[in-house]
Amino acid sequence: MTRNARPLTRQTQIAHATETHPTASSLVDARTIITLSGFAPPTLHAMGIRVATSFSARQFNLLITNAPGAQKQMYIAGTKLLETYSVPPLLHNQALAIGVTSYNGTLYFGINADRDAMSDVDMLPSLMREALDELLEAAR
């Protein structure tokens, strides 16, 4: 298997697992969310957190929430907004929570982890960057 095939294989496996999951038919895609007026990324992240808190802590120990943000330059009180990160709270018995937000053509990842459960969490951002770079390279 070539180096470029590995990220594509992972992506295919993730897509298949997501599409065949019993709840897949009830999911809403990002394009649909973007078209909803009046919804801002913090609102969407908050909705994800509310859903996550309604589950028993034994069902999962990882939360990943994503919400599309504004895709143009934004200003707050006349000051240019450079970046935006969502950092979801860690719920009871969770090891890791990742909030993904897009803004002005860039993805931002907010990471919150229980250091007792994940003492090497500081490695996660560079591993995520490596995996995304592999996907970009494979797409060329």
Q: Tell me, yes or no, whether 37 lies in a domain.
A: yes
Read off the pLDDT of residues 51-76 as tens digits, 9 standing for 90 and up: 655 555 546 688 888 888 889 999 99
Any domain includes 56: yes
Output the pLDDT for position 34. Answer: 53
137, 129 Cβ separation under 8 angstroms: no
Is 76 a domain residue? yes
Does residue 12 belong to any structural domain of this protein? no
d(CA 42, CA 27): 19
Domain encompassing residue 130: 29-139
Whether residue 99 lies inside any domain: the answer is yes
Does 46 map to a domain? yes
Q: How many domains does one find in the chain?
A: 1
Asked whether 53 and 91 are in contact (CB, 8 A), the reply is yes
- pTM equals 0.66
Q: How far apart are CA 11 and CA 115, in angstroms?
A: 28
Domain assignment of residue 132, yes or no: yes
